[in-house]
Structure 1
Amino acid sequence: MTDSSQGVTCNRVDRLEDIPEPVPTGEFVVVDVIISSTSIVRLLEEGASYVKPFGSVEAALEFKRETDDALLVGEDGGGPIEGFDLSPLPSVIADADIEGRPVGIRTSNGTRAMERIGHAEGLLVGSTVNAGAVAEVLRERNRDSLVVAAGRQGEVVTEDTVGAELITARYHGESIDESHLQKRLRESSTAEWLREIGYGHEVDALAAFDSSETVPTLEDGLFVSYTS
């Protein structure tokens, strides 16, 4: 999709493997709705001094050893990682002592997508909860942009596509059937898994589109809240 009136493009890919080679210049948004993107949003809202993404468990553990008062958040295949402090579920984050602490995060898909892009300066994190705010930042920056639905091990993931569709629709000011998007989100296999493990309330929170104004942006390798 393009915004021809401004001569600036805003395109979408539905899995990180579809990012063109070589990786193009411009703005990037990584969308891993369940759960990396939403976790980073919530960590910053809970007062993390910054959030540092990692593609490997070993690098994250080294960060914790070398950084005072650091906290590690993450999962591997949906399960806990030895040596990490918290699951990346937003409701778990809300109950933790986050204020003022540096946080490292490693997830199976979202941080892998960030590594694939190359941790580009200014990389944004998008989800259903901050779609409108992300779109506003992209318009403000006024450069070609690519919204990347992370997917899962090469497969398209419904909730990530929903998040990417919502961001691009907000960017272009297009009307969109939000109830249909919410239905797709709620019926996704990952949402069903969350309900099965007793975290159905997380799905409800994800279906509250545009409930956050927080837009994580990468500065010097660290995610902080975007300020214009």
Structure 2
Amino acid sequence: MPLHTVDRLEDVPDPVPDADFVVVDVIISSTSIVRLLEAGAAYVRPFADPEAARSFGAETDALLVGEQGGAPVEGFDASPLPSLLPEDITDRPVGILTSNGTRAFERIGHDGTIFVGSTVNAAAVASTLAERDRETWLVAAGRGGDPTPEDSAGVELVRRCYEDRLTTDAAASLAATVEESGTAGWLRELGLGDDVNALLQFNESDVVPRLRDGVFVA
């Protein structure tokens, strides 16, 4: 079946086609959702509006993680960066809000078939897509309407895994693209280099988050 790629969420067709979607926001919502579900979260609910997220947190005692423009969100519990997430979240619901990734989910619509892809789970996502054999859009979230190198690299990684042509040289080139991105450099300047290093561990997670009834589950 056809496999389409876009370098920013604004390029998703309108109206949104009846197809599978993989949203790739490498730094950081995609990776965070993977890590939260790996850590045992009951589910992860994405938000584009901080007030709606805060209401959800008050109603459910969910953990709220998020950022807006790289800054903390008032009333939230933690940053969405994996190294800064709380250690014990087993069976706890989580709400997440980020500048780009969760906005992409809103753009596609919560009733769509949406998977979450990143560098850490690209091969598992590709395997899931191959089993489903449906028209699929790989969506690099981008930032504020502009492409970002790390998201485009994440999309390319999923595509190469799907097409079974991820060579050693290609993987090294994609890793360099992620590591040399402006966002990765900013994280290193903040002393969060471990988060960047973790992103370079391609295909080490088998978790493929899928949106069901408005929340992501593994």
**Shared fold, TM over 0.5:** yes
Q: What amino acid is the match of 2:65?
A: V
Counterpart position of 1:85: 77
Counterpart position of 2:211: 218
Counterpart position of 1:132: 123
Q: Say if 1:15 and 1:155, in contact at 8 Å, map to a contact too.
A: yes
Structure 1 runs (4+) deviating above 2 angstroms are none
Counterpart position of 1:52: 45
User: 2:66 aligned with 1:74, yes or no?
Assistant: yes
1:79-109 C-alpha deviation (Å, 9 max, x unpaired): 101100010011112x432111000000000
Q: Say if 2:21 and 2:136, in contact at 8 Å, map to a contact too.
A: yes
User: 2:57 aligned with 1:64, yes or no?
Assistant: yes
CA distance in 1, matches of 2:112, 2:8: 21
User: 2:12 aligned with 1:31, yes or no?
Assistant: no
Q: What amino acid is the match of 2:81?
A: L
Q: Say if 1:23 and 1:117, in contact at 8 Å, map to a contact too.
A: yes
Counterpart position of 2:99: 108
CA distance in 2, matches of 1:175, 1:142: 20
TM-score w.r.t. the length of structure 2 is 0.97
CA distance in 1, matches of 2:213, 2:48: 16
Which secondary structure does the structure 1 equivalent of 2:2 belong to? strand
CA distance in 1, matches of 2:32, 2:54: 19
Q: What amino acid is the match of 1:167?
A: V
CA distance in 1, matches of 2:207, 2:64: 21
Counterpart position of 1:158: 149
Which secondary structure does the structure 2 equivalent of 1:123 belong to? strand
Q: What amino acid is the match of 2:209?
A: P
Counterpart position of 2:191: 198
1:163-195 C-alpha deviation (Å, 9 max, x unpaired): 000001111112341111111111000000000
TM-score w.r.t. the length of structure 1 is 0.93
CA distance in 2, matches of 1:121, 1:148: 13
- Mean CA deviation greater in 95-104 or 209-218: 95-104
Q: What is the percentage of aligned positions where both structures have the same residue?
A: 59
Which secondary structure does the structure 2 equivalent of 1:82 belong to? coil
Unaligned runs of 5+ residues in structure 1 are 1-7
Q: Say if 2:157 and 2:166, in contact at 8 Å, map to a contact too.
A: no
- Mean CA deviation greater in 25-34 or 170-179: 170-179
Counterpart position of 1:175: 166
Q: Say if 2:35 and 2:82, in contact at 8 Å, map to a contact too.
A: yes
Q: Say if 1:11 and 1:168, in contact at 8 Å, map to a contact too.
A: no
